[in-house]
């Protein structure tokens, strides 16, 4: 084997996406066994020589978050000890991202800790999609390529001929909603949501008009579904016509599937940064494999990644 070969490996966090990325790049998925010892500890065995390789390991740190994060760390350690030339952690969904600051006393900044762990394990670079807050890039002391799923999601809604109003389900999502509304030449509205605990939010009122229009509610992730579905109820009550929900990361934990299936919405559109564990009616999954595959190709070839978005 010559050095510098492009190699794509996968943990168990999102193997279907890793397979799609490898297919896009026209390379076979690297051969490795990522399993468990009888006591539950993670075992990793590379079944091929990777010496001198340009290794990309695809692992979303989605639920089970700690298992997937630990798999990623142990895989990176394994690649380092097997003499990879460069290791890029491809983390389509970066878990713990919502714990990115001390918003009350005596709490951790777990996003920073997760970033430190990935670096310490031996990653040289990180490639990720729609971080909960862009500042998390600075938590890593290594280069981070931060991709946005927006172009692939926009293409879908442009294909539907969507026009109406784009709604942010909370004040934090205004930037994303504004960008969608600009590209879809639609109006903009925001729901005033306040989080009272990690499980409970209180939805206040709507800023903007939705009456008689189709509404597209956009967010970076759907976790329990509470925020986005409450926002859907608010816009529906205010007279919106068809309501679409759109988010990059389908975390879908707890009662999310039930919450979404009972929601007054026409369609839920998400990407495959996280694999779905159950089918859901009215859900459309758009792949980011092309986006990630193209970025990996450019990183490997030392070409600009930002020009993907120009």
Site for ligand R5P in 72-101 (CB under 6 A): 98
SS (H, E, C) 174-189: HHHHHHHHHHCCCEEE
- Is residue 221 at the binding interface for ligand R5P, with CB under 6 A as the rule? yes
Q: Does 219 bind ligand R5P (CB under 6 A)?
A: yes
Determine, following the binding rule CB under 6 A, whether residue 30 of this chain makes contact with ligand R5P: no
- Rule CB under 6 A: say whether 220 interacts with ligand R5P: yes
Assess 226 for contact with ligand R5P (CB under 6 A).
yes
- 276: cis peptide before it, omega within 30°? no
**For ligand R5P, the closer CB: 20 or 249:** 249
Pick between residue 168 and residue 293 the one whose CB is nearest to ligand R5P.
168
Q: What is the distance between the terminal CA atoms of the chain, rounded to a whole angstrom? A: 36
DSSP state of 162: -
The whole-angstrom separation of Cα 253 and Cα 260 is 11
CA distance 26 to 22: 6
Which is catalytic among the residues 102, 193, 236, 237?
Answer: 193
Interface with ligand R5P, residue 190, by CB under 6 A: no
Say how many residues touch ligand R5P, by CB under 6 A.
Answer: 15
Task: Using the rule CB under 6 A, give the single segment among 55-63, 169-177, 205-213, 266-274 that binds ligand R5P.
Answer: 169-177
In degrees and rounded to multiples of 5, residue 167 shows phi and psi of -120, 130
Question: What is the DSSP track for 177-220?
Answer: HHHHHHHTT-EEEEEEEEESSSS-EEEEEEES--TTS-EEEEEE
128 φ, ψ (degrees, to nearest 5): -145, 170
The yes or no reply on residue 177 touching ligand R5P (CB under 6 A) is no
Q: Look up residue 3 and give its DSSP letter.
A: T
Distance in Å, CB of 175 to ligand R5P, minimum: 11
Residue 130, phi-psi category: left (phi > 0), alpha (psi -120 to 50), beta (remainder): left
- Please choose, out of 17-25, 53-61, 208-216, 225-233, the segment that lies near ligand R5P by the rule CB under 6 A: 225-233
236 is catalytic: no
Going by C-beta distance under 8 Å and a sequence separation of 6 or more, which residues neighbour residue 3?
A: 51, 52, 53, 85
Interface of this chain with ligand R5P, residues 238 to 297, rule: CB under 6 A: none
**Selected range binding ligand R5P among 37-45, 83-91, 168-176, 204-212, rule: CB under 6 A:** 168-176
Nearer to ligand R5P, 61 or 223 (CB): 223
Q: Which is nearer to ligand R5P, 62 or 295 (CB)?
A: 62
Helices (H), the chain: 15-25, 65-81, 110-121, 150-160, 174-183, 226-237, 256-261, 289-300
Min separation Cβ 22 and ligand R5P, Å:
30
Q: Specify the 3-state DSSP secondary structure of 169.
A: coil
61 binds ligand R5P (CB under 6 A): no
Which one of 10, 128, 223, 248 is in contact with ligand R5P (CB under 6 A)? 223
Least distance CB 111 / ligand R5P (angstroms): 13
Closest CB to ligand R5P among residues 221, 289: 221
Catalytic residues: 193
């Amino acid at each position: 084997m010559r050095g510098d070969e492009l190699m794509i490996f996968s943990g168990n966090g999102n193997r279907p996406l890793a397979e799609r990325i490898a297919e896009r790049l026209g390379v076979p998925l690297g051969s490795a066994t990522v399993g468990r010892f009888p006591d539950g500890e993670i075992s990793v065995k590379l079944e091929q020589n990777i010496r001198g390789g340009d290794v990309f390991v695809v692992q979303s740190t989605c639920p089970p978050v700690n298992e997937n994060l630990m798999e990623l760390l142990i895989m990176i350690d394994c690649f380092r000890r097997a003499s990879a030339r460069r290791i890029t952690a491809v983390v389509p969904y970066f878990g713990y991202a919502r714990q990115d600051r001390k918003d009350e006393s005596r709490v951790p900044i777990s996003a920073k800790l997760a970033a430190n762990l990935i670096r310490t394990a031996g990653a040289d670079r990180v490639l990720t999609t729609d971080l909960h807050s862009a500042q998390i890039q600075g938590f890593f002391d290594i280069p981070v390529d931060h991709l946005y799923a927006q172009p692939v999601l926009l293409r879908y809604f442009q294909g539907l001929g969507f026009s109406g109003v784009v709604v942010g389900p909370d004040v934090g999502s205004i930037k994303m909603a504004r960008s969608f509304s600009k590209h879809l030449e639609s109006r903009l509205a925001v729901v005033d949501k306040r989080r009272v605990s990690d499980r409970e939010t209180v939805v206040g009122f709507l800023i903007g008009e939705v009456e008689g229009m189709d509404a597209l509610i956009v967010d970076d992730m759907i976790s329990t579904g509470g925020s986005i579905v409450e926002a859907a109820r608010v816009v529906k009550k205010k007279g919106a016509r068809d309501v679409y929900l759109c988010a990059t990361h389908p975390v879908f934990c707890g009662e999310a599937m039930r919450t979404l299936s009972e929601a007054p919405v026409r369609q839920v559109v998400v990407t495959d940064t996280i694999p779905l564990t159950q089918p859901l009616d009215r859900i459309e999954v758009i792949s980011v494999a092309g986006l990630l595959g193209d970025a990996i190709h450019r990183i490997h070839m030392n070409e600009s990644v930002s020009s993907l978005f120009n």
